Structure 1
Amino acid sequence: MTFEQAWQRWRDEREAVLRSPEGFLAITGLHWLGVNPQRFAEVPGVWSTGPDGVVVELGEGESLEVCGTTLGGRFVFGAVDPYGVIASFEGGTVEVADRFGTPVLRPRHSDGPFLRNYTGTPTYAPDPAWQLSATFRAYESRRPISVGTVIEGRSSVIDAVGEIEFEAVGRPQRLIAFDGGDDELWLLFTDETSGVTTYAACRQLAVEAPIGDNAVLDFNRAANMPCAYTIHATCPLPPAANHIDVLVEAGEQAPPRPPPD
């Protein structure tokens, strides 16, 4: 498979994820739960949180399904983590998860306005020159780093695992690397295209597991965060140090984001 063919396969897979009826573009709301029971238009039940964790009261004719079990009446989800629980109902699903220490609901509907109005993501043309050799400097132990988020007044803590050193357009760069799972590294970064041709807040890059200290950064696969597409995202922002001081004209550009109808 050629470089261009491999990149196109990545683009096709990425577009399939973006257009998925269960993906983040299908989210129709971001609801923060409190002690006072609340009903939301996009999901069955009356929801609250308290000493027992997340609780839903399902009324007559209402139900949810979790892991093949149909729920009715009062159900205690309990404490939830950032990965959350997915419950389904007729016409959609709802994510019950923790964000910044507060439980949230994020309903998903296949006809949600952000998904319905999505027209695709523009990209730079693939260029092998943006496959850069790098050196990974692992920390002796993980370092929790507090970063800002797209939710005003909310911060998030992410485990940093080391630093990536490389050159871009002849200039030395260093980025803090986070745990991407499955031995991958995860980079959040801005560059001189941010807010011009690419999404202003940041982009992300998955980096294959380094071999020893050696890593490869393929900026042709730099991707937008969910917050580039929807107001219902809770994305972390890169630490201030993660700015590349050149134009990284590779990867995804800023997508059009028409207002939801």
Structure 2
Amino acid sequence: MTETDISADTFVDDWNTWHALRDNTFREPLGWLSLTALHWLVDAYSTFPDLPGAWRADPDIVVITAELSDDLSVDGAAVDGSATITPVEGAPGIIVKHGPRLIEVIRRTGNVALRIHDSSAPALAQFSGIPTFTPRPEWVVEGVFTAFPQVRTVTTGAVVPGLEHHHDARGKISFEHDGTAYELIAFAGRDEGFHVLFTDATSGVSTYPAVRSLHVSTPTPGGGVVLDFNRASNLPCAFTDYATCPVAPAENRLPFAVDSGEKTPEGPTGRALI
């Protein structure tokens, strides 16, 4: 493994800042830990004990039927009779307000679901931070990105059986560990960088079994990139049963232990092995 030239003090300070931001993300009052339910809709009206109104999913739209006293609103307009919304496949959900709660309407693999966000959710109140391995500079690894001639679509499964995720694969990142060469498929990421979904020999032991995520910054002109496994992150599905996250592609299942980055969340917020 090739270690980059890092100041020890800067390395730890930067990692602590990153880790604090990660913890704060999951402390958001209506974020992932506020989820209390995931209800799948069908083409006939359904009602749910924790929601007012009746809900139906057609091929392209969702129809809500409710009375004014049900206190449902879409884009600031109260639902009094019926309202129609159009969730987009794979996109962030459309929000329906119910008093202080949010109902997120999502479309995944052609199916539509309602996710309920409640700032008084037990998981949010019980959250005490994300457990991690101790950060170590030796897990900051140099690699080389090689672009595919054209973007490929890579399909993976999801933590919810029957769902699929379709990713824009931009190329491969090659690197070495203990003298052996490995490759990871890199998907399109933020800030013109990449998003790597992977598992390793710690998956299902000390880390979440289905996937961890790694952000990789934009490569240098020669294709150089840095894989900082100290920042290997859990996806929301590690914290809640109401997420629909992808699993790692078969090509990104590393045979060695990456004992670095985030571990499986502890206590009530930790999702069971799948």
TM-score range (shorter-chain normalised) is: over 0.9
Alignment RMSD (CA, Å) = 1.9
1:193 equivalent to 2:202? Answer yes
Alignment of 1:158-169 (within 5 A): 158-169=167-178
Alignment of 1:50-199 (within 5 A): 50=58, 53-82=61-90, 83-199=92-208
Which structure's residues are more often strand, by fraction? 1
AA in 2 matched with 1:127: R
Classify 1:64/1:211 alpha carbon distance in 2 versus 1 (closer, same or farther; 3 Å): farther
Contact 2:68–2:78 (CA<8 Å) still a contact in 1?
Answer: no
TM-aligned CA deviation for residue 81 of structure 1: 3.3
TM-score under structure 2 normalisation?
Answer: 0.88
TM-aligned CA deviation for residue 259 of structure 1: 7.4
Question: What is the rounded CA distance, in whole Å, between the counterparts of 1:97 and 1:118 in structure 2?
Answer: 25
Aligned pair count? 260
Which structure's residues are more often helix, by fraction? 2
TM-aligned CA deviation for residue 168 of structure 1: 2.2
Question: What is the rounded CA distance, in whole Å, between the counterparts of 1:205 and 1:52 in structure 2?
Answer: 34
Secondary structure at the aligned position of 1:38 is classed as: coil
Partner of 1:222: 232
TM-aligned CA deviation for residue 258 of structure 1: 2.3
Question: What is the rounded CA distance, in whole Å, between the counterparts of 1:126 and 1:253 in structure 2?
Answer: 12
TM-score under structure 1 normalisation?
Answer: 0.92
Moved more, 128-137 or 112-121: 112-121
Partner of 2:250: 240
AA in 1 matched with 2:21: E
Which whole-Å deviations, capped at 9, do the CAs of 1:112-166 have from their partners, x for residues lacking one? 2322332322111111111111111111221111211111233222221111111
Contact 1:28–1:42 (CA<8 Å) still a contact in 2?
Answer: no
AA in 2 matched with 1:104: A
TM-aligned CA deviation for residue 51 of structure 1: 5.2
Partner of 2:50: 42
Q: Determine what percentage of the aligned residue pairs are the same residue.
A: 39
AA in 1 matched with 2:85: F
- What runs of 5+ residues in structure 1 fail to find an aligned partner? none
Partner of 1:250: 260
